[in-house]
Structure 1
Amino acid sequence: MDKLSALTLFVATAEHGNFSRAAEHVGKTPSALTKAVAQLEAELGTRLFERTTRRMALTEAGHIYLDGARQALMQLQLAGEGVEQLQYELRGSLRITAPPSYGPAFLARVCCRFMRDHPQVHLEVELSDTYEDLVDGGYDLALRDGPIDLPGVIAQPLRTNDLLLCASPAYLARKGSEVTMHNYLEHDWLIFRHPLLNRHFWWMQQGGERVRLAQPQPRLASDNYDFLLACLLDGQGLQFVPQWSAGPYLQRGELVEVMPEVWREPSAFGPWIHLLYLPHRRNTRKVKVFIEYLRGHWA
């Protein structure tokens, strides 16, 4: 067995914790993985795993060797991508992670356009509110709002994350009253719940004055943004909506901005959506081109 294959099987074994699960993941037999690890241990003259009848775990030498093996495989992958980039047509795979709300708001349209233009690239898009580790998840690119002070990760602002207070025309017609800073508590509210967000008050700006508003009792609260947005469009109340999500509905008249003279200060999610990627992905052509598509969408 060649050294590259042995390293690949060793890394798979270490990541999955036993030969059977790793073999299923890489499409090999458990005996092939056992043989690969035994070959490496013979070459190194030391054990990489401690094995018992119930479990296996990396030795100290195994941990050191795993770090080196991952780096070697990553460098080979980057070298292969560099050769691919000599071709005119983009090829290979591109793994992206983003919050679920980005999918219907804009990411699906960007991905579809990208796939039409680059049919040899396979996209894998994971929509999750969890802040996935780019290394462990094998992601090429992440789109996130919120905390971005992650070690070893490059963050670039993509677009602003401004919040607009919106309602449907049907809701405003039904309530029959203008929304103001004085009567906002009398209205029905749809409020997004998240561990990072304050549940008691909002900071607002009006005419250069900073005002603290008590949060109303919500008619509907949820931790799922798209669920709340559907209820907003159905006329069930008022909701703060990011401009990147509200834009198309405002243009079509399905939503109306309320109290446009009042600006809500950025929440814990921050004033920007950011692009996150690892330093060694900085010059990967697939990543650079996809970022161009994202920026082009907002242009």
Structure 2
Amino acid sequence: MDKMSALAMFVVAAEHGSFSLAAEQLGKTPSAVTKAVAQLETQLGARLFERTTRRMALTEAGRIYLDSARQALMQLQLASEEIEQLQHALRGSLRITAPPSFGPAFLARACSRFMQAYPQVRLEVDLSDNFDDLLDGGYDLALRDDPGEHPGLIVQPLLENRLLLCASPAYLARRGGEVTPENFAQHDWLLLRHPLASRSFWWISYRGENIRLRQPPALLESDNYDFLLACLLDGRGLQFVPGWSAAPYLQRGELVELMAGDWQLQSAFGPRVYLLYLPHRRSTRKVKVFIDILRACLQEHGLLPPTA
């Protein structure tokens, strides 16, 4: 029996805590699984399982060996995929997770272009603020506006996360006057409710100085960004909008940037949007191709410089 088959049987047996259940899943006989594990134990000179008539459990050596066995099988699978993809068109699946607001702003365009170019790849895109673990969720790639602490992950900056104060021409025509921090309270505000964002104060940078401003009362607040954006476009008030979201509306004249220049709101979500993926996905061609398409889409819409 080859070593990789034996490793696969060992891993499934460890996950199920039973040789018979492992055999059932793999389409093998219980004796074949028992024999495979015994061969590994002989090669290692250590027991991998403690077995009694009622139960079996991994030994300390078994727990150590299980991690290495999983990594070996994963690397072999990735290598097989890469070789197949070099010889044939991209295929299989690509799982991506990102915050909901990224979808309509730029991620949908990139996904559409990727599907057009590689129709044999099945995309799975989860738009959620839950920030699920990449390994536990089985994701190939994540986009985050706050990478946080993720030891063991590759983290690459993608684009700036600068906030712009925006309003529609209709709102400005109706309310008139210049918008400044001094008259914030006189305006209608659309505010995003989020665990990372303060509901009492804003920190604003002005010519190198950090100034704390009390948040004005909200005319409308919501935990859904796209809902607030629709109300902003409809002329219901003022809103701080990420540049990557505001760009097309500013270009078409559907929104106007206010207080451009010296004033800058400090974002609770961090200064950049990031790409995150597991180290063993670094060389996966599907991930590389998707990132290239994503960057190209962002460049075309003026969100990345051509040389980025």
State the TM-score, normalizing by the size of structure 2: 0.80
How many angstroms apart in 2 are the aligned matches of 1:258 and 1:49? Answer: 71
Stretches of structure 1 lacking an aligned partner (at least 5 in a row):
none
Identify the range of structure 1 (129-138 vs 154-163) with the bigger mean alpha-carbon deviation: 129-138
How many angstroms apart in 2 are the aligned matches of 1:18 and 1:231? Answer: 54
Q: Which amino acid aligns with 2:248?
A: P
How many angstroms apart in 1 are the aligned matches of 2:183 and 2:59? Answer: 66
Q: Which amino acid aligns with 2:206?
A: Q
Instruction: Tell me the alpha carbon deviations over residues 145-167 of structure 1, each in whole angstroms, 9 at most, x when there is no partner.
Output: 11343111111111100100111
Alignment CA distance shift 1:120-1:9 (3 Å)? farther
Alignment CA distance shift 1:252-1:9 (3 Å)? farther
Alignment CA distance shift 1:224-1:88 (3 Å)? same
Alignment CA distance shift 1:38-1:244 (3 Å)? same
**Which SS does the other structure have where 2:275 is aligned?**
strand
CA-based RMSD: 3.1
Q: Say if 1:188 and 1:218, in contact at 8 Å, map to a contact too.
A: yes
Q: Say if 1:165 and 1:241, in contact at 8 Å, map to a contact too.
A: yes
Partner of 2:285: 285
Q: Say if 2:205 and 2:263, in contact at 8 Å, map to a contact too.
A: yes
Partner of 1:175: 175
Partner of 2:249: 249
How many angstroms apart in 2 are the aligned matches of 1:291 and 1:143? Answer: 11
Alignment CA distance shift 1:33-1:68 (3 Å)? farther
Q: Say if 1:202 and 1:214, in contact at 8 Å, map to a contact too.
A: yes
Alignment CA distance shift 1:31-1:198 (3 Å)? same
**Which SS does the other structure have where 1:183 is aligned?**
helix
Partner of 1:134: 134
Q: Does 1:96 align with 2:96?
A: yes
Max Rg structure: 2
Stretches of structure 2 lacking an aligned partner (at least 5 in a row):
42-46, 300-308
How many angstroms apart in 1 are the aligned matches of 2:252 and 2:119? Answer: 32
Q: Does 1:201 align with 2:201?
A: yes
Identify the range of structure 1 (87-96 vs 113-122) with the bigger mean alpha-carbon deviation: 87-96
How many angstroms apart in 2 are the aligned matches of 1:288 and 1:32? Answer: 35
- Count of aligned positions: 290
The alpha-carbon deviation at position 40 of structure 1 amounts to: 5.2
Partner of 2:77: 77
Identity %: 65
Q: Say if 1:93 and 1:123, in contact at 8 Å, map to a contact too.
A: yes
Q: How does 1:138-157 map to 2 (within 5 A)?
A: 138-157=138-157
State the TM-score, normalizing by the size of structure 1: 0.83
Instruction: Tell me the alpha carbon deviations over residues 246-291 of structure 1, each in whole angstroms, 9 at most, x when there is no partner.
Output: 1111122221112223432432311111111122222222111111
Q: Which amino acid aligns with 1:212?
A: R
**Which SS does the other structure have where 2:181 is aligned?**
coil
How many angstroms apart in 2 are the aligned matches of 1:111 and 1:292? Answer: 12
How many angstroms apart in 2 are the aligned matches of 1:4 and 1:274? Answer: 36
Q: Which amino acid aligns with 1:203?
A: W
Partner of 2:229: 229
Q: Say if 1:13 and 1:33, in contact at 8 Å, map to a contact too.
A: no
